[in-house]
Amino acid sequence: MKTGSQKFPTDPHGWAELLPAREAAPSLHGRHGAAWAVVGGGMTGLACARRLAALHPDQDILLLEARLVGQGASGRNSGFAVAVSHFNGGFAAGQMPEYRRVNRINRAGLDLLRAQVAEFAISCQWHEGGFHHTAADKMAIRELTHFRQYLEAMEIAHTPLDRTALQGRLGTAYYQHGVHVHQGALLQPAALVRGLADTLPANVKLYEQSPVLGMEGGNRLILRLAKGTVECDKVILATNYEAGKLGLLRRRLTASTLSGSFTRVLTEEELAGLGEQRQWGVLSLHGGGATVRLAADGRLCLRNMAEYHGGELLSQGKLLQRQTVHRAAFEARFPDLKDVPFEYAWSGVEGISRNGTNFFGPLGNNIYFAGGYNGSGVSRGTAFGTALAEYASGGHTALIDDCLASAPAAWIPPRPFLDLAAAFSVRSRFKGVGRDQ
């Protein structure tokens, strides 16, 4: 029997706190049976449960979420659904098939989300205006050359931007150079996750605040929870970095903790100074650089911290400490808004692999897993969840083939070496970040 951790922390700091109150689904009590159990109610789990419901309309699917919907990693990211991945370093023509494979997965997830947001009228500030990839310091400027070579060779629609053009779009003279990639969507992540959860098909039963604490095999799989059990034929683990809490993939996946801050809603006068666009997103071309957004509700959001924290969220005290870094980066970019206060700070955890790849496929007899998105889980998690439902059902599609072709996640040494290696890897992201932080 695989025994899991009972620690599934959450806190009142995140995108969900910007939303109206919501009535949660019940937690699981007693004994239950189903054909399928999906563990994890984030982007991957929601996509998987939805696709399983369509493939097996006469079967019951149980969806078990450890926290409240929207309080996990899927509701705590910066709200970028990517279509085009950024591969650090020089463009390698021999890697074009791999670039195309990854971007096909990204676009599949983006297409699925677009259709679901439209079909179910999910109010999540969905905005398909692409993203700005920017550079403020020499290392990021050097990376811009590589990125543009990649975009041009792959025939990906984009617009190069100099400092003047960026200032006209974003209302800041901070960035020296950049490029606007036309594909991609901005969104309110907690609102998207809630909307997807609240529109699940009738044969999906969602249980919130229901962490799986143990799992055992046999003729049927048995999941043990604090106040009940589930007996099922097949299990889909959509737990990303938290698979280790069930004793799985501990040597393949780890996590980094991100943090950022929101301003209050800006006034019309303040918004008028932020360029010609009322929504935009900035991704730094330095891997450790800041992510900045002007959200649809008129808030500026800045995220520029990533650290190894054992896969945990930051305490209130640590968030306040990190907010001094957020504040300095914010005022450097928007000096005219130096008197605009931050209203919220938040932290979230991303699942990462040592070699930047993903995991997709079987973990054992009738157990399947997808995860390790390295910061691209909104669109990629949706694609992987959909494909995993089809794969576990015996299907064969081009998307399944693309997901299966992910390189194996590299082995991670055990603790205490794990902690040292993970902390070093996360710190390495900030090497040479300079003004892009």
Residues of 259-278 as b/e, b for ≥16 C-beta within 10 angstroms?
bbbbbeebeeebeeebbeee
Query: What DSSP letter does each residue of 265-328 carry, written as one string?
Result: PPPHHHHHTS-S-SSEEEEESSTTSPEEEE-TTS-EEEEEEEE--TT-PPPHHHHHHHHHHHHH
Q: Please report the pLDDT score of residue 250 as a whole number.
A: 62
Query: Per-residue pLDDT tens for 289-317?
Result: 999 999 999 999 999 888 887 778 899 89
The lowest-confidence range among 142-151, 162-171, 350-359, 366-375 is 350-359
How many whole angstroms separate alpha carbon 205 and alpha carbon 38? 10
pLDDT at 195 over 70: yes
What tokens does 290 get? Answer: 């800041």
pLDDT at 251 over 70: no
pLDDT at 213 over 80: yes
Q: How many residues in total does the chain contain?
A: 437
pLDDT at 416 over 90: no
The answer to whether the beta carbons of residues 286 and 140 sit under 8 Å apart is yes
Q: Please report the pLDDT score of residue 247 as a whole number.
A: 77
Contacts of 415 (CB under 8 A, 6+ apart): none
Query: What DSSP letter does each residue of 376-423 carry, written as one string?
Result: -HHHHHHHHHHHHHHHHTT---HHHHHHHTSPPPPP-PPTTHHHHHHH
Q: Please report the pLDDT score of residue 372 as a whole number.
A: 81
Strand 177-181 relative to strand 158-162, pairing: antiparallel
How many whole angstroms separate alpha carbon 313 and alpha carbon 116? 30
- Mean residue pLDDT of the chain comes to 90
> Could you tell me what percent of the chain has a pLDDT over 70?
91
Tell me the average pLDDT across 83-105.
94
The answer to whether the beta carbons of residues 135 and 177 sit under 8 Å apart is yes
Torsion angles phi and psi, residue 224, rounded to 5: -110, 130
Query: Per-residue pLDDT tens for 395-409?
Result: 999 999 999 998 776
How many whole angstroms separate alpha carbon 298 and alpha carbon 303? 16
The answer to whether the beta carbons of residues 260 and 305 sit under 8 Å apart is yes
Nearest to 141 by CA among 411, 342, 434: 434
Instruction: Walk me through the domains of the chain, giving residue ranges and CATH numbers.
Output: 2-75+191-253+359-418 (3.50.50.60), 130-187+255-354+427-436 (3.30.9.10)
pTM, rounded to two decimals = 0.93
Q: Please report the pLDDT score of residue 33 as a whole number.
A: 96
SS3 state at 188: coil
Strand 221-225 relative to strand 228-237, pairing: antiparallel
Name the CA dihedral angle for 193, 198, 199, 202, rounded to a multiple of 10 degrees. 130
SS3 state at 111: helix
pLDDT at 424 over 60: no
DSSP 242: G
SS3 state at 141: helix
pLDDT at 200 over 60: yes
End-to-end CA distance of the chain: 45
Q: Which residue has the higher pLDDT, 1 or 66?
A: 66
The answer to whether the beta carbons of residues 334 and 175 sit under 8 Å apart is no
Q: Please report the pLDDT score of residue 157 as a whole number.
A: 98
Confidence bin at 1 (pLDDT 50/70/90): very low
Q: Please report the pLDDT score of residue 20 as a whole number.
A: 93
Query: Per-residue pLDDT tens for 275-295?
Result: 888 899 999 999 889 999 999
Q: Please report the pLDDT score of residue 420 as a whole number.
A: 60
